[in-house]
Every structure is written in structure tokens, then in C-alpha cells.
Amino acid sequence: MPFHTASDKEIKDGKITDVYFERGKNILEGKGIKKNVVAEIRAAVLPDDWSWAVLGGVEEAVRLFEGLPVNCRSLPEGTVFEEEVPVFWIEGEYTSWAVYETAVLGFLCQASGIVTKAARCKIAAEERQIYSFGARRMHPAIAPMIERAAYIGGVDGVATTAAAKLIGEMPIGTMSHSIILVFGNETEAFKAFNEVIEPSVKRVALVDTFNDEKFASISAAEALGKDLYAVRLDTPSSRRGDFYKILQEVRWELDTRGYSHVKIFISGGLDEYEIEELNDYADAYGVGTAISAADVVDFSLDIVEVEGKPFAKRGKMSGSKEVYRCDACFEMTVLPIKEDPGACSCKEGIFEKTSKEVIKQGKVLELPPAKVIREYTMSQFEYLDIDEDLELEIEEFDEE
């Protein structure tokens, strides 16, 4: 294989494992010890200043356990959760799945980080469109995973063709600096794009290659007229100065010449905080590294039940659990699996059970398409803010 990646088969065969899991399995098998356990996956802390995160990577985690003699439950992919909320459970004889711990955590940790960052950017952008442009900053083998996660988090489109195919959408792109450099002239490149590319693709002119953004925007509008959908400013940080003022000026100059239909598309080193600052003048954003190289959610996996009895290591609450969420106020509560959640203190909603059975004796029960997951993620946005704490309450409970 020319590239430094594991094949699907190696992952499914449990070859991507920390060696101590393999040794543990060998020791238990050597001694003939077979015990049924329940393990849960949860994050004790979230990265950066996040007060909430969004679950991703569930489909791949489910595919990992498909065919093994285990039962799995999961919060639905796209569910908002807080620190200490369990998100995925595995139940079965320990040695039958022990070597998959490394891989299942990898799937959930990285994808959840990306889904969360994408959701934060989408919330910051409000009704404006955002696109995933950061595949190029990560290993190409995982570009489809990255962009699917970005899409589930709320981005409106993805750039790479393989990722677009995975999620069942058309890839989104504008125009590269390379083509303008090869033409040697911005206006000629804009006109050629308009002549050659099929009309269904929106005409977005890249206006930061040779000239000042204001003058390049005006010449793009003059060259393409009504056909011009947007100008894109990908201005390098070394030339930005006061970017807000540059955008304000571009908008002003386009409007005074009758080009108020031309939208302003921004890309280049953006994150949710810059998006919030530029919303007054930007109509759409291309977000790169901030999403594709998002911090990972540090999930860990812990055994919480052995042979049907609550049992966990120091610092972990034992027993199989259920996560409930109030359908009116969004409060989340974690309880021992058989305990009744009672009424929510808001007195307006009822606590709904959030986990779903996803694997029954190795059989996959349900995997919603990416588009449905994305809608579900975004349906929770009304409760979320990127700057303020959610303060979901997680009730303490005694070990049995």
C-alpha cells in the first residue's frame, strides 16, 4: 500500500489496537475467564471553552461492532451532550470486543470534535451559509469522514467530491487562485469561468489575487453583471489590516454601482469568533482548518457492570445508565438505567429517554442518513450558544 493508512479490513479485524488490549484478551482467554460486562463511553471534560458538544462518528462505531456478539446503545448521532454524559454503551463478553476499544474511541473522539466545531461555526453564522473547505489540511484518507462530520454539524456544503458522494450532496466550490495565475488576468479568468462552466454552478469571483479587493470586486461585477452571484475574499492575513472595514467598503462600492445582488463570500483562517465579527457584511463563509482540525473530544471507555452487577474503577460511577432530556427546556439528566426520571423542574415538558439500541447481537438496527442527522443536530441549535454555559444538570446518584 502506498499510503500510511489502515485498511477497513485491518480495523474490522481489530488490528488497530493498543497492544495491552490484545494482551489482556490473551491473558483472560489463557485462564478461561469469560465475563459479561457493560462498558460506557463518556468525556469527563470537553476541550477548549466548550460547554457542550455534539456526538459524531456513531455510524462508523456501529459498523465496527457489526457482526460481533454484543449489544450496543448510543445517543443518536448529532445529539448535544455535556461533560460526564455517557454517549455509547457496549454489552457483551469482554474478550469478544476488547481489542476494539482503540478504534471505537478514535471514531467517536475525532468526529465529535469536528461536528461540534462545525455546529459552533454554523450557530455563529446564523442564517448565513457556511462551507467545509479544510479537507486539504488533513490526511486525504479521512477527508470523507471529516466532511461528513462537518455536514452533520451544520455546514451547508462540502468541497471534496468523495465526501459529497458519501453524504449524497453536490460538492461546492468557487474558483482557485491557480486558474487566475495561469490566465494572468483576473477579469479574463472570471469571463472564462462564466463561459465554460455549466450554468447551474453559481458564479463566485475570487477578488484578492492581484488587486485591491474593492477594485477587483467592481471589475468582476462589471464583467459578469447579473451573472455574478458573489465575490470571494480569501485575503491573506499579511494583507488584511482591518478586514471588517475592507468588507464594509466592498459592500458600499458594489451597492453604489447597482450591484447589490452580488453577495460577499469570505474564506481563509476563519473560526466561530471571527464569523461573529464579520456577520454584518459577509453573506457566506468557507471554513477550513478550524473545522477539519478541530480539537477532539476526549472520550474514554470504562467498564461499569460485570456479570450484571454495578462495578467501576475509582472516579467512575458504576452501573448501566440512561440519559434523559426534557422536551421543553432541554435539561439533561443521567440516571441508573431502571430509575424513573420523574417530572422536569420546568414543569412544562417530560423527560424523554435519549439512547437507542443500535446493535442487537451483532445486527445493526438503524442508521439514519447524513441529511436526517444534520436536521436533527440543527433542531437543537435554539438551545445553544457558543459563548454561554448551557448548564445542563446531571444529577448525582448513589452507587448501588
* Burial label, 24 (beta-carbon count in 10 A; 0-12, 13-18, 19+): middle
Residues in contact with Zn ion, total (CB under 5 A)?
A: 7
Closest contact distance (angstroms) between CB of 354 and Zn ion is: 14
Closest distance to Zn ion from the beta carbon of 330 (Å):
7
Binding track, positions 201-240, relative to Zn ion; x by CB under 5 A: ----------------------------------------
Binds Zn ion (CB under 5 A): choice among 33, 162, 346, 350: 346
Q: Which is nearer to Zn ion, 328 or 365 (CB)?
A: 328
Q: CB-wise, 207 or 344, nearer to Zn ion?
A: 344
Mode of pairing for the β-strands spanning 356-360 and 363-364:
antiparallel
291 vs 344, beta carbon nearer Zn ion: 344
- Amino acid identity, residue 317? M
Provide the H-helix boundaries in 184-242.
Answer: 186-196, 213-224
Question: What's the rounded Cα separation, in Å, for the pair 160 and 132?
Answer: 9
Q: Does 329 bind Zn ion (CB under 5 A)?
A: yes
Q: What are phi and psi of 349, to 5 degrees?
A: -130, 180
Q: How far is the CB of 344 from Zn ion (least distance, A)?
A: 3
Q: Which residues of 348-364 are buried (b: 16+ CB within 10 A; e: fewer)?
A: eeebeebbeebbeeeee
Distance CA 94, CA 78 (A): 28
The residue whose grid cell reads 467498564 is 303
Nearer to Zn ion, 29 or 327 (CB): 327
Segment interacting with Zn ion (CB under 5 A) among 22-30, 159-167, 319-327, 366-374: 319-327
Task: Report the nearest approach of Zn ion to the CB of residue 79 (Å).
Answer: 17
CA nearest 290: which of 79, 47, 103?
Answer: 47
- Out of 64, 150, 206, 344, the only residue in the binding site for Zn ion (CB under 5 A) is 344
> Minimum distance from CB of 329 to Zn ion (Å)?
3
Q: Kindly state whether residue 390 participates in binding Zn ion, applying the rule CB under 5 A.
A: no
Pairwise CA distance, residues 340 & 43, whole Å = 24
Whether residue 88 contacts residue 104, with contact meaning beta carbons closer than 8 Å, is answered with yes
By the rule CB under 5 A, 328 interacts with Zn ion: yes
Nearest distance in Å: CB 326, Zn ion: 3
Helix (H, G, I), strand (E, B) or coil at 326: strand
- Residue closer to Zn ion by CB (options 49, 391) is 391
357 is written with which cell numbers? 439500541
Name which of 60 and 331 has its Cβ closer to Zn ion.
331
Distant-in-sequence, close-in-space partners of 349: CB < 8 Å, separation ≥ 6: 326, 327, 328, 329
Beta-carbon contacts of 242 under 8 Å, excluding residues fewer than 6 positions away, are none
Provide the minimum distance between the beta carbon of 93 and Zn ion in the complex, in angstroms, as a whole number.
Answer: 39
Q: Which of residues 349-378 bind Zn ion (CB under 5 A)?
A: 349
Q: Applying CB under 5 A, which part among 54-62, 76-84, 102-110, 327-335 lies near Zn ion?
A: 327-335
Q: Please state the closest distance from residue 351 (CB atom) to Zn ion, in A.
A: 8
Segment interacting with Zn ion, rule: CB under 5 A, options 232-240, 263-271, 323-331, 368-376: 323-331
Euclidean distance between CA atoms 331 and 329, whole angstroms: 6
Question: Which of these ranges, 47-55, 120-128, 198-206, 338-346, lies near Zn ion under the rule CB under 5 A?
Answer: 338-346
CA distances to 36, 172, 247 from 264, rounded to whole Å, are: 58, 16, 8
- Which range in 43-51, 156-164, 340-348, 359-367 contacts Zn ion by CB under 5 A? 340-348
Region of 96-104, 111-119, 312-320, 328-336 interacting with Zn ion (CB under 5 A): 328-336
Q: How far apart are CA 349 and CA 278, in angstroms?
A: 37
The amino acid at residue 65 is F
Site string for Zn ion, 268-307 (x = CB under 5 A): ----------------------------------------
% helix / strand / coil in the chain, to the nearest 5?
40, 20, 40
Span interacting with Zn ion, options 31-39, 44-52, 242-250, 348-356, rule CB under 5 A: 348-356
Residue number, 232 or 325, with CB nearest to Zn ion: 325
> Where do contacts with Zn ion occur on this chain (CB under 5 A)?
326, 328-329, 331, 344, 346, 349
